[in-house]
Chain A
Amino acid sequence: MMKDLLTLAVKAVDGGLFVVAFALVGEVLEPKRFAGLFSAAPSVALANLIVVVVVAGHAEAVDNTWGMAVGAVAFALAAVLGVVAVRRFGALRGSVATCCTWLVLASAGLVVFLR
């Protein structure tokens, strides 16, 4: 239990730091569509996979990455809808709609490809 909590805490700090690092890279890039590549950077994935490999080994990290690949497809599809949603409804509602769309698509992907 303590080990799980400590692992989660390390993942949280690690994930936050990686996101900040990639966000800083995105800040200096132009134009915005190029900088947007870094909104889908594997920052959280890299941060978490490093911890998973150290704590649980390669096998669990491999399973994580297959799940991530399916999640990334859902991300790409959700972001296509997100372009329209952000334009019509503004950044906050548009991005929340994108996240909700991702949840639906990722759940479907989990059932179809990852069971």
Chain B
Amino acid sequence: MTAVEHPPKEPSQSGPRQPRRSWTRAHVEPAHHDPLADDASEPLIGIDAGKLRKVRAGDLGVRFAFGAAVSVVAGLVGMVAGPKAGGLFLAFPAILPATLTLIEKKEDNRHATNDTAGAVLGAVGLGVFGVVAAVALSRMPAAPALLLAAAAWLVVSVTCYLLVEPVLRRRARSSQTPTDRPS
């Protein structure tokens, strides 16, 4: 990857003053790394099937347990307080603690933060799933209705991601400031 140099920003633009260092490498090192900024070199969407080999049974067991627990809670709430209240818990973010702690343990906090940011976009799609499912279940059999709702979740979530991600990467690139100045 070609190294890129950027002119140093005025001190007022760069936030807290950073200690000066001499140029030792001919590329910009961000003074403050934004954990929401994925590396610009990463593709927008990628698949690495090899990661499946690294998945541990214990990690899957934890996720199974969380999924089962949420389902039981949603069912119990529905029995006690009605189906709308029970449905509320179908969107309870109980999977997040398991997922994020596993990511933070295997990788780092930055990746866990990025996963949470992705969950925001996924939750927007989840809302659309709920509305589409509610309308579709009133008009067609369950199988096509739920498939349609799931497709709506996927399309909306991925669209939101494709709209937001380039903006976040542009913002991360433009907020990079040199920590070194030429001597």
- Chain B residues contacting A75 (CB-CB under 8 Å) are 91-93, 119, 123, 126
User: In the bound complex, what is the Cα–Cα distance between A4 and B89 (angstroms)?
Assistant: 18
Which label, helix, strand, loop or mixed, suits the secondary structure of the B interface? helix
Which residue of A36, A64, A76 is within 8 Å of B87 (Cβ)? A64
- Interface bin, chain A: 35 or more
Within 8 A of B (CB), among A36-94: 36-50, 52-53, 58, 60-76, 78-80, 82-83, 86-87, 90-92, 94
| Known contacts A32-B114, A65-B134; is-contact A106 B88 (Cβ 8 Å) | yes
User: In the bound complex, what is the Cα–Cα distance between A92 and B86 (angstroms)?
Assistant: 25
- Chain B residues contacting A68 (CB-CB under 8 Å) are 87-88, 90-91, 126, 129-130, 133
19 A-B pairs (CB sep. < 8 Å): A8-B72, A12-B72, A14-B71, A20-B67, A27-B52, A31-B38, A32-B114, A33-B114, A36-B117, A40-B123, A40-B125, A50-B146, A65-B149, A67-B85, A68-B126, A71-B92, A82-B120, A92-B101, A94-B100
B positions within 8 Å CB-CB of A: 35-36, 38-39, 42-49, 51-52, 55, 60, 63-72, 74-76, 78-79, 82-97, 99-101, 103-104, 107, 109, 111-127, 129-131, 133-134, 137-138, 142, 146, 149-150, 153, 157-158, 161, 165, 168
